[in-house]
Structure 1
């Protein structure tokens, strides 16, 4: 959906990435607009180094582009959306610094604007990483929808940066105001987190997983992945295996242990996830592996893969959608060689078998329980 966001500085045409004319979701929401209104009406000028954290589709960076903000995001799609929206509004994206959550943050931050993420862990990690650059005069403002801001959110700001309060709600959005205290004892950053896997999941039994903040299954193996690990395909003859939407990399690492001669490609749109996958792999496996942050398999050559393993998400921030799964399945079909296999795990009610039959012309039920199904589709 292409839309125009009205701000005190003018209107901006914005779109999500990748663009889809069927997508009716906007590239901004009421919390973005609330923050921009507050900044325009405030007495504090936006001088010095302005940092925008977690801008979901680039609306904040685009609207504030005259102040040359530094954008920090964990999302490849958000980063590409920001670049596209800057160009769409006549701004040269190369004149701004767009960092990832894995990059070193600026040494000094004079204005810190935080779009509250869904993951409290990611917020905790980012506040810890940014805190050394924040000083007593730093303007710190967070923003989010009312349903995204909880007491635990405010406690994180207060514990890591300093005294914190909230605004009144407007259009179901709320602002967070934090007064940094350099003398504040914030403790140590607990991320990344490591834990041991259970003993009944095949080749990865009892091994170590590394989870950076914000990555699914932060402290224990989820039941869906556990089910998939017990039913992985025999890929010993495969030359190239892809863990698509790899998360912390446990599925791809298990595949690497069962097929040590294969190259395993770990792909995710989260920089935190790919960093987790690489550390999980390095801790448990040897061989040939590649790690790619990107939009699914768009960067993988056509007909170059033997097996794709996939546990697709069915949420985009707060919205429930099958758009991501559909793009993953389409990308897998293009990347697989003739005879190559896509293995998918999902909740029974999602109906992935229907989508796979439309794309591949076939879908086989490999295993199921009360909650999950594992499906296999073959590129003919």
Structure 2
């Protein structure tokens, strides 16, 4: 696995976060290289105010911080931590960090963007850029060419302004735009909907996973959540919009609940949904974090988990494995991890390796999903 990015007689040492032994994935992609090459050809004057959106692991921030004042905005806690680690590793100048729910900074001279996976997130970013930027500030976005559809370009034109594209290079394409659409459109940040068959209404910020409807895994998990927990200490790991936490709190009003996600928008949404749907309140807090980093051993009695199987654009199971390992660390003896996953992911084997085969049992299953319980 390559860790050195060399361009224009300059080399950066870049790592993904969290750093793993035998890493097989790079900390940058051809889209990062395409943006860097294009901007280098522009020969910008020094000390420009460069806004970077969705820098995956800090490659762009490291590169442009050498000559410019950089603000990096991302909804990902992991991207923030990777960027900070890579800035330090390469002895780069400090930059300003923010989430994509924060206001767009003033006096921006250039915007560089890795296109987000979610169109709702993209629309939110485009509307905020349109409201904040002068018409002459260039916005340059990048993604794999196959992911830039006609509909993507129409979103740019509708919510931001005049838009063109580059030729493809290494299967990536650049999108060029300016904030000059005839009218700045006002977009409500929250999408709200009712969970059928449950007394829950969810508000979802733009980058919350499955923010427009309940995902099938969570839907199957809801009726299989435990009751009678008393005052046990419960963690919802990878909480998303907090739907499992809300149901757990409704069923078990005396639990101490901690909701954890690496998305700032997710934890903000989860806290809002707990406040809205648990009228008598609950002892709950929401934390933006990399899995359970920093949690004390034996500090939880139950961990509920609906793991993701991708990081940024890459499909990977290492996040689920880290979640399982972290859960075992924080669970008290006799504590339980409750996991839902697609059948084909083989979580039963992973949990058996970690907890022992005799300590893993199936709670429920359907054609698509399986719910597993592992006891420490």
TM score, norm. by length of structure 2: 0.95
Q: Tell me by how many angstroms 1:235 deviates.
A: 4.6
Q: For 1:186 and 1:40, locate their aligned partners in 2 and report how far apart those are by CA, in whole Å.
A: 31
Q: For 1:313 and 1:306, locate their aligned partners in 2 and report how far apart those are by CA, in whole Å.
A: 22
Identify the residue that residue 272 of structure 1 maps to in structure 2.
265
Q: For 1:178 and 1:303, locate their aligned partners in 2 and report how far apart those are by CA, in whole Å.
A: 52
Change (3 A) 1:370 1:350: same
Q: Tell me by how many angstroms 1:237 deviates.
A: 2.4
Deviations 1:79-112 (A, max 9, x none): 00000100111125xx310111232221332211
Identify the residue that residue 82 of structure 2 maps to in structure 1.
81
Candidates 196, 199, 209, aligned match of 1:198: 196
The answer to whether 1:240 aligns with 2:233 is yes
Aligned to 1:130, what secondary structure does the other structure show? helix
- Farther off after superposition, 230-239 or 344-353: 230-239
Identify the residue that residue 187 of structure 1 maps to in structure 2.
185
Aligned to 1:237, what secondary structure does the other structure show? coil
Counting only pairs closer than 5 Å after superposition, residues 1-380 of structure 1 correspond to structure 2 as 1=1, 3-8=3-8, 10-42=10-42, 44-45=44-45, 48-66=48-66, 67-92=68-93, 95-181=94-180, 184-199=182-197, 205-285=198-278, 286-361=281-356, 362-379=359-376
Q: Does the aligned pair in 1 maintain the 2:73–2:97 contact within 8 Å? A: yes
Q: Does the aligned pair in 2 maintain the 1:240–1:305 contact within 8 Å? A: yes
Q: For 1:131 and 1:35, locate their aligned partners in 2 and report how far apart those are by CA, in whole Å.
A: 21
- Farther off after superposition, 148-157 or 288-297: 148-157
- Farther off after superposition, 234-243 or 38-47: 38-47
| Deviation >3 Å, runs of 4+ | 43-48
| Number of equivalences | 371
Change (3 A) 1:158 1:44: farther
Identify the residue that residue 202 of structure 1 maps to in structure 2.
none
Q: For 2:88 and 2:2, locate their aligned partners in 1 and report how far apart those are by CA, in whole Å.
A: 14
Q: Tell me by how many angstroms 1:124 deviates.
A: 1.0
Q: Does the aligned pair in 2 maintain the 1:238–1:307 contact within 8 Å? A: no
Aligned to 2:3, what secondary structure does the other structure show? strand
Q: For 2:25 and 2:210, locate their aligned partners in 1 and report how far apart those are by CA, in whole Å.
A: 27
Cα RMSD, aligned residues only:
1.5
Question: Which structure 2 segments of 5+ residues have no match?
Answer: none
Q: Tell me by how many angstroms 1:51 deviates.
A: 0.3
Q: Does the aligned pair in 1 maintain the 2:257–2:284 contact within 8 Å? A: yes
Aligned to 1:137, what secondary structure does the other structure show? coil
Question: Which structure 1 segments of 5+ residues have no match?
Answer: 200-204
